[in-house]
């Protein structure tokens, strides 16, 4: 059971590391757009989505390879621990 707990902890860490950069970028871009909309009093909803989508897509393009590498390492660790997990 301790091996399972370690793999679960590692999986949660990998999930956080993969999700954090796009979430931070989307939050920052959303805050910047909100300030600009408040300053100019332009309240168009489509203006808020396009910069966020482009920023998140660029972030995923930059950090996607690292995320896949983390997932591959985690997959190898899980595959290596399967016999130990099956024994209980």
Domain ranges of the chain: 2-87
**pLDDT value at residue 83:** 87
Q: Mind listing the pLDDT tens digit of every residue in the chain (88 residues)? A: 788 888 999 999 999 999 999 999 999 999 999 999 889 888 777 788 899 999 999 999 999 999 999 999 999 999 998 888 888 6
Rg of the chain taking only CA atoms, in angstroms: 19
Nearest to 50 by CA among 32, 62, 63: 32
Tokens of 49: 């989505």
What is the reported pLDDT for 24? 97
Query: What pLDDT is recorded for position 41?
Result: 86
- The two counts, helices (H) then strands (E), for the chain are 2, 0
């Amino acid at each position: 059971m301790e091996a399972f707990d370690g793999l679960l902890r590692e999986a949660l860490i990998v999930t956080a590391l993969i999700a954090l950069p796009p979430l931070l970028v989307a939050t920052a871009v959303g805050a910047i757009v909100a300030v600009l909309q408040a300053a100019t009093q332009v309240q168009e909803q489509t203006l808020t989505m396009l910069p966020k989508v482009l920023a998140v897509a660029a972030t995923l393009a930059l950090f996607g390879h690292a995320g896949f590498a983390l997932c591959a390492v985690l997959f190898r660790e899980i595959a290596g621990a399967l016999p130990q997990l099956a024994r209980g």
